[in-house]
Each structure stands twice: as structure tokens, then as C-alpha cells.
């Protein structure tokens, strides 16, 4: 469960709202990974390495958001006077 404090004087902001976008982001990452998989071993050595790095990054995001309970979203805050 995400816990947000309404004020955090150390940061100098007051949270106005939080919008959880985890499901949307997770779906997006899964779709990008599915598109990337068929071509990961094609092309030049440099292209393959680039795709393998992208695949590793996408896989890590999917693991964190889908299996480890992490959340992502939009935070809107106002600077404290």
C-alpha cells in the first residue's frame, strides 16, 4: 500500500494528489517487450546489444511492477511557502 504524507517539510512540498498508473505502465512495458523479443537476435552486433539492453530493462521493470509490488504514478504537489 502506498503511503504519502500530506506534508514533507524536508522536501518543501505538500502532496495535492497521487494517481497510480502502475497497471497502465505495466501493460505498456509488457507490450514493448513482446514487440522486441522476435527481433532481439537480428541485425548487427551493435543493434543486437542495444536490443538486449532494452529487453533487460523492460524485463526488470516488469518484474518490479508486476511481481514485487512496486508502484508508479503521477504525483502532484505544491511548493510550501
Number of domains observed in the structure of the chain: 1
Residue matched to cell numbers 503521477 = 74
Q: Are strands 73-79 and 7-8 parallel, antiparallel or unpaired?
A: unpaired
- Flag whether 81 is in a domain: no
pLDDT digits (tens, 9 = 90+) for 23-80: 999 999 999 999 999 988 889 999 999 999 999 999 999 999 998 889 999 989 888 8
Give the model's pLDDT for residue 9.
Answer: 55
pLDDT score recorded for residue 80: 84
Question: Within a domain: residue 1?
Answer: no
Residue 70 belongs to what domain range?
22-76
Higher pLDDT pick, 47 / 12: 47
Report pLDDT for 69. 85
Beta strand residue intervals within 1-81, DSSP E: 7-8, 13-20, 73-79
Residue 70 counted as domain residue: yes
- Classify residue 15 as exposed, middle or buried by CB count within 10 Å of its CB (0-12, 13-18, 19+): middle
In a domain, 30, yes or no: yes
Residue 60 lies in a domain: yes
Residue 53: left (phi > 0), alpha (psi -120 to 50), or beta?
A: alpha
Amino acid at each position: 500500500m502506498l503511503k504519502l504524507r500530506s506534508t514533507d517539510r524536508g522536501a518543501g512540498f505538500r502532496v495535492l494528489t497521487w494517481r497510480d498508473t502502475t497497471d497502465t505502465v505495466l501493460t505498456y512495458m509488457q507490450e514493448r517487450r513482446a514487440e522486441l523479443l522476435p527481433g532481439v537476435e537480428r541485425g548487427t552486433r551493435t543493434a543486437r546489444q542495444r536490443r538486449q539492453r532494452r529487453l533487460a530493462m523492460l524485463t526488470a521493470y516488469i518484474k518490479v511492477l508486476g511481481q514485487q509490488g512496486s508502484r508508479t504514478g503521477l504525483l502532484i504537489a505544491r511548493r510550501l511557502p
